[in-house]
Amino acid sequence: MSETYGGRTHLRDPPMNTCIVTGASSGIGKETAVALAQAGAHVAIVCRTQESGERTVCEIRDRAQNSAGSLFVADLASLGAIRGLAGELDAALPRIDVLVNNGFYASAFSPRKGSKPPSRSITSPTSCSRACLGPARPLE
């Protein structure tokens, strides 16, 4: 299950029981979710809207031939929504093995003379990680 190279021990095939992918409704997030589902993981996707999320869950299930998947809806532009998402994930999933922070919000603003950035222009992937997983813990 592990290999040693470069003086460090690395997991060769880490268990992927439950994986969360944010920004999974399109692009690399969707492809990541499909690949994880094809590997046998239960994939919980986080999308901004219910409609796009439901379409994505159906596509992931069809492409991966894996019915283990679930949808969570959250606007990652809001720290309150991220905290709410963390509570939903905690209540619905027994554990989280992998968190792929693909989705985040960055507002467009032009740094012209005299202009100021919005008060909350970026909600970082780190915010989602901390809310969903809590403080970092050593691997067991």
Encode pLDDT of 47-100 as tens digits: 999 999 999 999 999 999 988 889 999 988 888 888 899 999 999 998 888 889
Cα separation values, 4 from 10, 12, 22, 73, Å:
6, 10, 31, 40
Whether 98 and 16 have beta carbons less than 8 Å apart is answered as yes
| Residue span of the structural domain in which 121 resides | 12-107+115-133
Structural domain count, the chain: 1
User: What CATH number is associated with residue 17?
Assistant: 3.40.50.720
CA 29-106-127 angle, to 5 degrees, is 75
17 confidence band (pLDDT: 50, 70, 90): confident
Q: Report the distance separating Cα 33 and Cα 54, nearest Å.
A: 14
Q: Does residue 5 form part of some domain? A: no
Contacts of 44 (CB under 8 A, 6+ apart): 18, 19, 20, 21, 69, 70, 71, 72, 89, 92, 93
Q: Does residue 140 form part of some domain? A: no
* pTM summary value: 0.68
